[in-house]
């Protein structure tokens, strides 16, 4: 579906954006891949990785999702938008709440308006497990963002733009990953652990890109796509990254959860199991005339998708192989 199409990635200089651009450029023959971000230095550095003579389809566009006028200019002639831009550092969002709101919530509203008015065909937004029963401001802003993208399908009118959301947990190899922290701390012989009971879902950067592109191809508008992922124990990850090192417990940080939750029980009634993924269906009437539930089945009423009660687990050996290959 991406051949000869124009795809724009907001926040495209981030870890996900760069991997997504690489996949699109090398495997899907797009007409253009537009990288929209606000940091000229990161665009310059990304341009070194993707030189124009080798990747003639790539374009760089300076702009901020807070600036609606700039989005109207950027979205002109665009077929698909992948929204990866966000302020996502939990402590920074707690200390600078209005900045997180302006980018994560108002930015999402700007994208929906610009996409509809510019005739973009499909928009898929990246969410996070922290949007589920949020306990910090970052999660609360992403919950609002998710609601905006789902609800946008109900007022597109004749424009026909479709909006959906992808939700997943920690990405191995992304910038700022705990893997990098553990590997750096390995040099000291001691790694810091917040709580030895802590569990997390885990997805590789490559799989996250695949899942987003697959979801964009399958979406009818309004879904929240959740991949089925393995869980891991943080102490096992520490052992895989820094074998033999001592553990120093520092306690759970403000706004942090002991376990990750991607589908709460309150959303089970709207969730279907589609094999390699779950789909959370919206409550809006527009959705049911489009969605084909073939191959999907409802989950139990008391179902929740929690990293602590998952049936797939990564061992220390599994994590070591994944980290080594990343």
Catalytic residue among 5, 130, 257, 281: 130
- b/e burial code for range 142-166 (CB count within 10 A of at least 16 → b): bbbbbebbbebbeebeeeebbbbbb
Q: How far apart are CA 174 and CA 236, in angstroms?
A: 19
Strand partners, 126: 166
Tokens 């065909």, residue located? 121
- b/e burial code for range 264-303 (CB count within 10 A of at least 16 → b): ebebbebbbbbeebbbbbbeeeebeeebeeeebeebeeeb
Report the 10 Å Cβ neighbour count for 228: 16
Beta strands in 127-259 (DSSP E): 162-166, 170-172, 190-193, 199-204, 224-227, 231-233, 246-249
* 257 tagged catalytic: no
Q: How far apart are CA 281 and CA 249, in angstroms?
A: 40
Tell how many helices (H) and how many strands (E) occur in the chain: 11, 17
- What amino acid positions are annotated as catalytic residues? 130
């Amino acid at each position: 579906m991406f051949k000869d199409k124009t795809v724009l990635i907001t926040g495209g200089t981030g870890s996900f954006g760069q991997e997504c651009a690489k996949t699109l450029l090398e495997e899907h023959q797009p007409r253009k891949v537009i990288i929209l971000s606000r940091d000229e230095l990161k665009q310059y550095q990304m341009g070194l990785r993707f030189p124009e003579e080798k990747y003639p389809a790539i374009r760089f566009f300076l702009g901020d999702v807070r600036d609606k006028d700039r989005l109207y200019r950027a979205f002109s002639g665009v077929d698909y938008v992948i929204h990866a831009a966000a302020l996502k550092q939990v402590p920074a969002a707690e200390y600078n709440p209005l900045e997180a709101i302006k980018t994560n919530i108002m930015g999402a509203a700007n994208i929906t308006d610009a996409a509809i008015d510019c005739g973009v065909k499909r928009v898929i937004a990246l969410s996070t497990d922290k949007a589920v029963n949020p306990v910090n401001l970052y999660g609360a802003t992403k919950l609002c963002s998710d609601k905006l993208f789902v609800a946008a399908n109900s007022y597109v009118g004749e424009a026909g733009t479709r909006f959906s959301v992808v939700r997943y947990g920690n990405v191995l190899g992304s910038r700022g990953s705990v893997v990098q922290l553990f590997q750096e701390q390995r040099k000291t012989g001691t790694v810091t652990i917040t709580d030895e009971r802590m569990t997390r879902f885990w997805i590789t950067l490559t799989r996250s890109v695949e899942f987003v592109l697959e979801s964009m191809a399958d979406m009818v508008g309004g879904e929240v796509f959740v991949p089925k992922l393995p869980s891991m124990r943080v102490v096992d990850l520490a052992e895989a990254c820094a074998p033999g090192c001592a553990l120093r417990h520092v306690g759970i940080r403000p706004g942090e959860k002991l376990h990750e939750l991607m589908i709460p029980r309150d959303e089970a009634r709207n969730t279907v199991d589609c094999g390699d993924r779950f789909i959370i269906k919206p409550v809006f009437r527009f959705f049911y005339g489009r969605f084909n539930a073939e191959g999907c089945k409802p989950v139990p009423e008391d179902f929740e998708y929690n990293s602590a009660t998952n049936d797939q687990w990564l061992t220390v050996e599994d994590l070591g192989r994944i980290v080594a290959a990343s």
